[in-house]
Amino acid sequence: MTEAQHKFVFDLSGGNLALDFVNTVSERPTAQAKERLNEYWDLEFFGQQSGVYPPRAFERIYAMGAKAPEEAEQVLKEAIRLREALFAIFSAVAERRPVPANALALLTIAAQDSTSHGRLVHKAGVFQWEWVGMDAYLESVLWPVTRAAVALLLSEELTNLRICASDTCAWLFLDKTKNHRRRWCDMKICGNRVKAKRHYKRAKGE
C-alpha cells in the first residue's frame, strides 16, 4: 500500500488527540460498527493525519513496518487494546459511571512506557515535552495518544467531556461551546439524523 492508495481521512474533531484515537470506530453501539484501524498502516496514517510525527518520521516508520509485518500486526493489536481501554475510561466519565479498574491499569502501564521515551527540553525560554525515537519504534504513534489521555484526565477540561447523544454513534468529544450544551459529535450528521428520526415519529403519530 502506498500513501496515495490510502483514501480514508480520519475525523479529528474530538478536541483531544486521545479522543480522536478512540473515535476510530464509527457507529460503535450498532451491529454495523465500522473499524477504521484494520491494518497497521491505518494506525500509521492516523498518526500522520493527526500530526504526531515529526518531519520524515512517517516515511521511516512506514518502511520499518513493511520489513517487520508480524511485529507491526502485534503493535496494531496493542493499539486497539489501548483504544478500547480509553473508550471504557472516557465513556464512563462522560456518562458518570464508575471507571473500570482494568482499563485504568492498562492506561497506567502504557503511560509509564511512553514516558520513558520522552524528555523535558528548554527551547527559546519555554519548557517542552519532546519524544525521542519517534522514527525508530513502530508503536511510537501511541506515545502522544497516551500522554494526551493522561493530560485530559488530570485537567479541568475533563468536565467538558461528552459522548454523542445519538444512540448509534458513541463518539467522544470536548464541548467547547459557550453554554456547554453541545449534544452531538457533529450537528450536520448525528444531530440532523436524530432530528429527522423524531420528525418521522411525529408524522406517524408515535
Hey, what amino acid is at 5? Q
Domain that holds residue 84: 3-203
Cβ–Cβ under 8 Å, residues 129 and 147: yes
Q: What are the distances in angstroms from CA 96 to CA 41, 92, 129, 145, 158?
A: 35, 6, 31, 23, 12
pTM recorded for the entire structure:
0.90
User: What pLDDT is stored for residue 7 in this prediction?
Assistant: 63
* pLDDT(205) > 60: no
Burial class (CB in 10 A: 0-12, 13-18, 19+), 107: buried
User: What pLDDT is stored for residue 180 in this prediction?
Assistant: 84
126-131 vs 118-123, strand pairing mode = antiparallel
Cβ–Cβ under 8 Å, residues 18 and 149: yes
Query: CA 173 to CA 12: how far, in whole Å?
Result: 10
Please give the residue that has the higher pLDDT: either 198 or 18.
18
Mean pLDDT of 193-204: 47
Kindly report, residue by residue over 73-87, the tens digit of the pLDDT. 999 999 999 999 999
4 band by pLDDT with thresholds 50, 70 and 90: very low
Q: Which residues pair with 121 in a beta bridge?
A: 128
DSSP labels, 60-96? HHHHHHHH-HHHHHHHHHHHHHHHHHHHHHHHHHHTT
Kindly report, residue by residue over 49-81, the tens digit of the pLDDT. 999 998 899 999 999 999 999 999 999 999 999
Domain harbouring 48, CATH code: 1.10.3300.10
As given in the structure block, the three cell numbers for residue 89 are 475510561
Query: HEC states along 81-145?
Result: HHHHHHHHHHHHHHCCCCCCHHHHHHHHHHHHHHHCCEEEEEECCEEEEEECCCCCCCCCCHHHH
Structurally, the chain folds into a number of domains equal to 1
